[in-house]
Structure 1
Amino acid sequence: MAREPGWQRPLGVVLVLVLVLVAAGAAWWASRATMTSAVPVDQRQGAEQMVVWGEASSGSVGRSLPLSTTLRQPAVPVAQNTLAGVVTGVSPGEVDQGDVVYVVGDTPVRVVEAEIPFWRDLARGVKGEDVAALQRLLVAEGHLQGEADGDFGTDTERAVRAWQEEQERERTGQVPLGELVAVPDLPAVVQLGEAVVVGKTLGGGEDAVLAPTGQREFVLVVTQDQARLIPAEATVEITYEDHTWEAVIAGSQLDEFGSTTFELTAPDGGEVCGEECGALPKDAQVTLRSEVVIVPRVEGTTVPAAAVRTRADGTAYVITPSGEVDVTMAGSGQGLVVVRGIDPGTRVQVLDGTPSTQPVPLPGDGADSTQGG
């Protein structure tokens, strides 16, 4: 039997030793990997977390929905047509004393401010409130001097002739029934009856002029999804030009299409516009810009919500470079908290290097709040 060369025996021993060392190393690595994976993931992340600082600033939080409020000013018939003929002209909209609202043939029909309707021809010798209304028109037009006494005398007849001449009408000195219609309050935005349309023939007795009743309804019409976002205690800020009014929800109705109509009043139950209603347009329906305040806006010093901590007794504090500082929370929204107790510019600790174990209770529903501008 042949003997192996002497140099081959040491090489075999070396290979065996190498294999043993590799196996031992693999076993050690496997044991270390097992120990590392046994450490909870959140503990590893917490250990790697760094201390983070933030800075308090001036700001505000709150939540509101930009919607539109509708002002409804109901109109009712205030005058019937007493003229027969074809309608040749119409002028609805905003009118004032003596303005023409429609024309039948070549006869213009004018509005006059009066509490009672015109019901007869006005001529010399007639007395009454309808005469006084005509006299006030003549005084305003500069054709009659003195006070309106309700007595159609020679002065009034003379004034009527001058007025008719100015209007390029026949100078009869009297006003036939149908040429004047009474509107309780002028100026006003008036509508015309359905029959008063250019080209249509009138026979008399049709509703001719509709005027506002003086009542005002402020309503908020929203979809079902929007209605779910609006609590009963929400306030509504209504803006028109340089006027702003606060309203509250007084009631609601659901219509057949699924829309909700919220009825609005002033906080004291009165009219939303209060003593400033005269600033509003006279149209039958007006759209007004508004904000539905769901979470009232709070202004002050804001810090990140993560910077506010609570103690076991429920008191709140923040950590500053000089230590803990007690604060009170006035509002929250969109990850921010308005606090009292520190000034804008104060550095506050947001993360302290350890994972948070308990959420900070915030005033209001912070998750649903939106920071105001």
Structure 2
Amino acid sequence: MADAVKVSPARRVLGVVLVLLLVAAAAGAGWWASRATLTSQVPEASGEQAAAEVVWAEASSGSVGRSLPLSTTLRQPAVPVAQNALPGVVTSVSTGEVAEGDVVYVVGETPVRVVEADAPFWRDLARGVKGEDVRPLQRLLIEEGHLGGEPDGDFGWNTERAVKAWQKDQGLEQTGVVALGELVAVSDLPAVVQLGEGIVVGRSLGGGEDSVLAPTGEREFVLVVTQEQARLIPAEASVEITFEDHRWTAVIAGSELDEFGSTTFTLTAPGGGEVCGEECGVLPNDAQVTLRSDVVIVPRVEGTTVPAAAVRTRPDGTAYLVTEDGEVEVGVRGSGQGVAVVDGVEPGTRVQVLGGTQGVQPAPAQPEPEPGQGDDSASTQEG
């Protein structure tokens, strides 16, 4: 058996020291690790961190509201206003918008013209005839420059002479008589007229056919929308309708669902009656007219705007803002999409936002906007 290795006292002491150093190093590393873990799990409430939670925003001028851009349809039913009284073959037709004295169709070589009149023509107009049906003819002759004075309803020799001059200008026989059927009365001109089914070029007419259809003057304003659009429109919504430089406000008076799933909203003026009121005369006299409109879902409110998260409420229900000068009581006039319109502060006032929960970034004082810019920077109106 080999001899045992002898270890000197000095080497034994050195080994013990090394073991103690290793134990101490391991203990120090464990303490540091535990300290680092505890520090990351338990944040300290420092003044800097508390200050970072205070978010400021600047009040500005703007508006809130929501509207849908859609089209309103004006329906004006057309009905027969005259029957043909001229036998012969139709040689020409002309439809669409017509004005006083325009030709709408021709039978043989005889033109049929529209004249603005409330009552239909019912007889030949010749010298010696008196009545209200003479006045529209006289007015036409005056406008054409063939007759002077004012319409008096008396077909005298001056009117006869004017008729002959008018017929000469048209290349017609100068009889001085306007036969029944040559004039068609339309209550309001200009207007978009239609011709009866029998008034077709090449068709032979015997008389009695419906010849001209014109709008009756009755107007219906409707809004036709899809199911998806209908779900967005509340019953109390208003509709702003625009035609050229005219603007009218309408309300929903009723609705109807058709077999295709579309909804038709009937519109009236806020107090009832026709949407266009006393200005209906500016609208085209067409059977159907499309008008630009905006359906106001949330009424537009303008004023001083702030982030909605900046508005706080007291137990008594009053609203206030926290400004750099302290609490300021405000009145909320409208809100939408994270913005509120308030009374009580001026644009440019810095207000505190609750914890920045709405994603509003700190907003230091900003320079004045350039002219024409910044007035609607807080607007949330859609459309």
Q: TM-score, normalised by structure 1?
A: 0.84
Distance in 1 between residues matched to 2:14 and 2:207, nearest whole Å: 134
Tell me the residue number matched to 1:79.
82
Q: Could you give the per-residue CA deviations for residues 24-51 of structure 1, whole angstroms, max 9, x where no partner exists?
A: 6337635763685488xxxxxx869532
Letter in 2 for 1:70: T
Structure 2: how far apart are the matches of 1:133 and 1:346? Answer: 69
Separation (CA, whole Å) in 2 of partners of 1:12 and 1:84:
138
User: How far apart, in 1, do the equivalents of 2:41 and 2:200 lie?
Assistant: 87
Q: After superposition, where does 1:46-195 map in structure 2 within 5 Å? A: 49-146=52-149, 148-195=151-198
| Letter of the 2:287 counterpart | A
Deviations 1:52-108 (A, max 9, x none): 211111111111111111111221110122334443322222222221111223221
User: Retained in 1: the 8 A contact 2:191–2:284?
Assistant: no
* Partner of residue 362, structure 1: none
Matched, 1:254 2:263: no
Query: Shift in Å at residue 257 of structure 1?
Result: 1.0
State whether residues 114 and 184 of structure 1, in contact with CA within 8 Å, keep that contact through their aligned partners in structure 2.
yes
1:201/1:24 Cα in 2 relative to 1: closer, same or farther (>3 Å)? farther
> Aligned to 1:22, what secondary structure does the other structure show?
helix
Q: Which residue pairs with 1:284 in the alignment?
A: 287
Which amino acid counterpart does residue 37 of structure 2 have in structure 1? Answer: A
Deviation at 1:348, TM superposition (A): 0.9
Go from structure 1 to structure 2 and tell me whether the alpha carbon gap of 1:146 and 1:306 turns closer, same or farther (over 3 Å shift).
closer
Deviates more, 1:132-141 or 1:229-238: 132-141
Query: For residues 205 and 13 of structure 2, what CA distance do their matches in structure 1 show?
Result: 132
Q: Deviations over 1:279-334 (max 9, x none)?
A: 22222221111111111111111111121112222221111112111111111112
What is aligned with 1:26? 30
Task: Select the residue among 312, 315, 320 that pairs with 2:323.
Answer: 320
Quick one: which of 11, 14, 31 aligns to 1:10? 14
- Provide the C-alpha distance between the structure 1 equivalents of 2:7 and 2:51, rounded to a whole number of angstroms: 60
C-alpha distance in structure 2 between counterparts of 1:49 and 1:178, whole Å: 89
Structure 2 CA distance for partners of 1:320 and 1:151, relative to 1, 3 Å: closer
Indicate conservation of the 8 Å contact 1:53/1:351, yes or no: no
Deviations 1:231-281 (A, max 9, x none): 111111111121111111111111111111111111111221111112222
Unaligned runs of 5+ in 1: 40-45, 357-369
Displacement, 1:345?
Answer: 0.9
Gap runs ≥5 in structure 2: 44-48, 359-378
Letter in 2 for 1:212: P
Of the three residues 204, 207, 215, the one matched with 1:204 is 207
Q: Cα distance, 1:210 vs. partner?
A: 0.9
Shift of 1:156: 3.5
Which residue pairs with 1:43 in the alignment? Answer: none
* RMSD (Å) for aligned C-alpha atoms: 3.1
Shift of 1:165: 0.7
The residue that corresponds to 2:380 in the other structure is: 371
Q: TM-score, normalised by structure 2?
A: 0.82
Check the 8 A contact 2:116/2:185 in 1, yes or no. yes
Distance of 1:228 and 1:104 partners within structure 2? 54
CA apart distance, 1:19:
4.9
Q: Which amino acid aligns with 2:222?
A: V
**Partner SS for 2:189:** coil
Partner of residue 271 from structure 1, selected from 274, 281, 291: 274
| Change over 3 Å in CA distance of 1:71–1:24 after alignment to 2 | same
Greater shift in the superposed pair: 12-21 or 214-223: 12-21
Q: Secondary structure of 1:218's match? A: strand
Shift of 1:147: 5.1
1:85-140, CA deviations, whole angstroms, 9 ceiling, x for partnerless residues?
A: 44332222222222111122322111122333233333445454434443333343
Identity, in percent, stands at 71
* SS across alignment from 2:162: helix
* Residues in 2 aligned to 1:9 and 1:82: alpha-carbon distance in whole angstroms: 141
For 1:120, the aligned partner's letter is: R
- Aligned residue-pair number: 357
The residue that corresponds to 2:361 in the other structure is: none
When structure 1 is superposed on structure 2, of 120-129 and 315-324 the one drifting more is 120-129
Following superposition, the deviation at residue 223 of structure 1 comes to 1.0
